[in-house]
Amino acid sequence: MRQEAEAFDLLPSSEPSLGWRESRIWCNHCGSTYLRGIFAPLPDGGINFRLRCPHCSPDTDVDFVDTSGYVQLNQIHTFRPALKRVVHHFHPYYRAGLFSGQHPSFCCGWPVKPCIVHADAMPFRVMPHHYYVMQRCPCCGESPNSSALSVAAFGHPIIAEFRAEHPRWIALPDHMTEYQGQSAIQFHLADRVSAATCTYYAHAQTLQVLAVFCA
Ligand SMILES: [Zn+2]
Ligand SMILES: [Zn+2]
């Protein structure tokens, strides 16, 4: 299938092709295609697991996943389990750090404060209109990040059910707002192939989910 796509010049020319394979994970920004992924060996023996969208990534030059070797993926050679490993590596860690205000950094263990930053203020390229959780280590400067909408959703049964039932959900822009008198970020997911939507509000500092509305 990949060879066919290349033969017919269906892939954007700026998209790296060597070793990339199509996953069965929908892009949650355009909802129109599967992500493509790679397990790229790093010089230190680690693995860089990356996922990109052939539509969204070339325009924005954003990888939706780029572990840069932070996550141990030994024995995992398929995309969905690898993605699950990544989510379980970063999200509880960020949630705990946001809740307590500080945690040891990924890279060197130096105490850092995770923060929630809008795409416009991020120091590197991310998808626009969304909030991200990041840390900047004063020791080595490393700053991995995760989207706030997925950190907030982590472990929430209703949001998980919506995403499982509507795998072609797309993330509409996030909004800083209030919910019942508290500063909150509103996240809005919409199924690309039906009218189903899921809107949730998460605390603006801890990303604890305050309310979920599915329609
Ligand atoms: Zn896309
Ligand atoms: Zn560090």
Q: Tell me, letter by letter, the H, E, C secondary structure of 91-151.
A: HHHHHHHHHHCCEECCCCCCEECCEEEEHHHCCCCCCCCCEEEECCCCCCCCCCEEEHHHH
pLDDT at 214: 97
Please tell me the total number of residues recorded for the chain in this structure: 215
Do both 15 and 58 map to the same domain?
yes
Do both 166 and 180 map to the same domain?
yes
Do both 17 and 45 map to the same domain?
yes
Do both 84 and 145 map to the same domain?
yes
Give domain status of residue 73, yes or no: no
Terminal CA-to-CA distance of the chain, rounded, Å? 37
Among the bound ligands, the one closest to the CA of 59: 1
Give domain status of residue 7, yes or no: yes
| Spacing, Cα 51 to ligand 1 middle (Å) | 11
* Res. 16: pLDDT tops 70: no
Q: Which residue has the tokens 């690898």?
A: 82
Tens digits of residue pLDDT in 29-38: 999 999 999 9
| Spacing, Cα 182 to ligand 1 middle (Å) | 33
SS3 for 59? helix
Do both 167 and 140 map to the same domain?
no
| Spacing, Cα 28 to ligand 1 middle (Å) | 6
pTM, rounded to two decimals: 0.87
Give domain status of residue 189, yes or no: yes
Domain count, the chain: 3
Give domain status of residue 72, yes or no: no
Give domain status of residue 74, yes or no: no
- Name the phi and psi angles at 98, rounded to 5: -65, -35
Do both 87 and 143 map to the same domain?
yes
Do both 179 and 140 map to the same domain?
no
What is the domain extent for residue 102?
79-150
DSSP bridge partners of 169:
191
Q: Give the residue from 66, 87, 106 where a domain finishes.
A: 66
Among the bound ligands, the one closest to the CA of 112: 2
| Spacing, Cα 100 to ligand 1 middle (Å) | 34
Tens digits of residue pLDDT in 39-53: 998 998 889 999 999
Q: What is the residue-averaged pLDDT of the chain? A: 89
Do both 108 and 166 map to the same domain?
no
